[in-house]
Amino acid sequence: MRQSEHTWFALFAFTVLAAAIYTPASAATHSADFMRPLGPIADMQRTELFWATVIVMVAILPVFVGVPWILWRYRRSNDKSEYAPAWHFDTKLELVMWGVPAAIVVAFGIWLTQAVFRIDPYRTIDAEMAEGMNFEIDGPPVVVDVVGLDWKWLFIYPDEGVASVGEMVIPVGRPVSMRLTTDTVMQSFMAQGLAGQIYAMPGMVTRLNVLAEREGTTVAENTQYNGTGFASQRAPARAVTDAEFSAWIDTARAAPPLDDETYAQLAKSGDVAAARRDLGRTGSGPLAFALPDPMLFGRIVGRYRTGAPVPPEQQPGSHSYDPEAARLPATDKGMSDGND
């Protein structure tokens, strides 16, 4: 590809990127991703990407345009171009070459640092944040505890007394406070229509706060490779009306309970379909459960806080894992005192 073709390709790619970033939300009512966000957190991240691209182009476009121009201007057959074999330095050129990139780095540093604090995943979404980012809060927060398994996501709603596997449902307009961990290897949770990715590790708790401003569905996925079933660890994350959320909660409360024996089976390596077979549940799609123990998330974390290694037969994800031998601690060790 010639240099001139590189230039036109770069301009075309930038145009496509800008058009994709600023696709109106109304054109994507039912599906959402990074370019078509559901909420203010992802929307700000999209805006940051756009302006970061624009600012970087200040340094990149002159190169894409200048290199072909220099090659054409000073080609051997052009007798009109000035030949200056003794030239070696130009103060103005040096200031531009070094000053512009330096200014970009400084601008990026200040701007992105402010953005990091503004949309810190650990920051609670409250009235102050809503006012600063110009969005509305329509109800009390919803707590969702997320557990990464091989190869599925478990979503626990301790306040509502329900849980689901393979689907996350949240109400539009209400902040969602998420705690994340895994009961197997390290994983990385990302629902790109709501926020960026955040890591989850066994025995540790990370946090993510999101809010959906409109109805729609994005994908909650694991972006950290964790074995042969990695590609199937994807779950729809649905933002629904408050009435639909209440109806979904009522349906889940009528489902079989997620007790210790059921969780032990659920923790076996396999996707949602395999979990359904192991539990003897008919049908297809996500699994819903009633939640008899609202401290289940803390007990899962507590498995790794006993001060002793987890035996292979009790370790989900292990080839030796035995659901009959795997039992969670009786209490949420280390969680009741807020020690995340």
Q: What is the pLDDT of residues 110-141, one digit of tens each?
A: 988 888 888 999 999 999 999 999 999 999 99
Average pLDDT, the chain: 88
Q: 212 near 178, Cβ under 8 Å?
A: no
Q: How many CA atoms lie within 13 A of 276 on its CB side?
A: 14
Query: Is residue 170 helix, strand or coil?
Result: strand
What pLDDT, on a 0 to 100 scale, did the predictor assign at position 236?
Answer: 96
What pLDDT, on a 0 to 100 scale, did the predictor assign at position 27?
Answer: 38
| Whole-number CA gyration radius for the chain | 26
d(CA 211, CA 180): 16
| Parts of the chain with a pLDDT under 70 | 1-30, 333-340
- Beta-strand ranges (E) seen in the chain are 142-149, 152-157, 162-165, 168-171, 176-182, 187-191, 198-200, 206-210, 216-222, 234-240, 287-290
Class of domain 139-314: mainly beta
Q: How many CA atoms lie within 13 A of 231 on its CB side?
A: 1
Among the listed residues 281, 265, 204, 272, the one whose alpha carbon sits nearest the alpha carbon of residue 233: 272
The edge-to-edge listing of strands for the beta sheet with 152-157 is 206-210, 176-182, 142-149, 152-157, 162-165, 287-290
- Whether residue 111 has a cis bond before it, omega within 30° of 0: no
Burial track 227-238 (b if 16+ CB lie within 10 A, e otherwise): eeebebbbbbbb
What pLDDT, on a 0 to 100 scale, did the predictor assign at position 6?
Answer: 47
Contacts (Cβ under 8 Å, ≥6 apart) of 339: none
What pLDDT, on a 0 to 100 scale, did the predictor assign at position 75?
Answer: 87
What pLDDT, on a 0 to 100 scale, did the predictor assign at position 256?
Answer: 97
- Run of H or E residues at 271: none
What pLDDT, on a 0 to 100 scale, did the predictor assign at position 28?
Answer: 38
What pLDDT, on a 0 to 100 scale, did the predictor assign at position 100?
Answer: 87
Among the listed residues 67, 25, 63, the one whose alpha carbon sits nearest the alpha carbon of residue 42: 25
What pLDDT, on a 0 to 100 scale, did the predictor assign at position 339?
Answer: 52
Domain boundaries, the chain: 3-75+89-118, 139-314
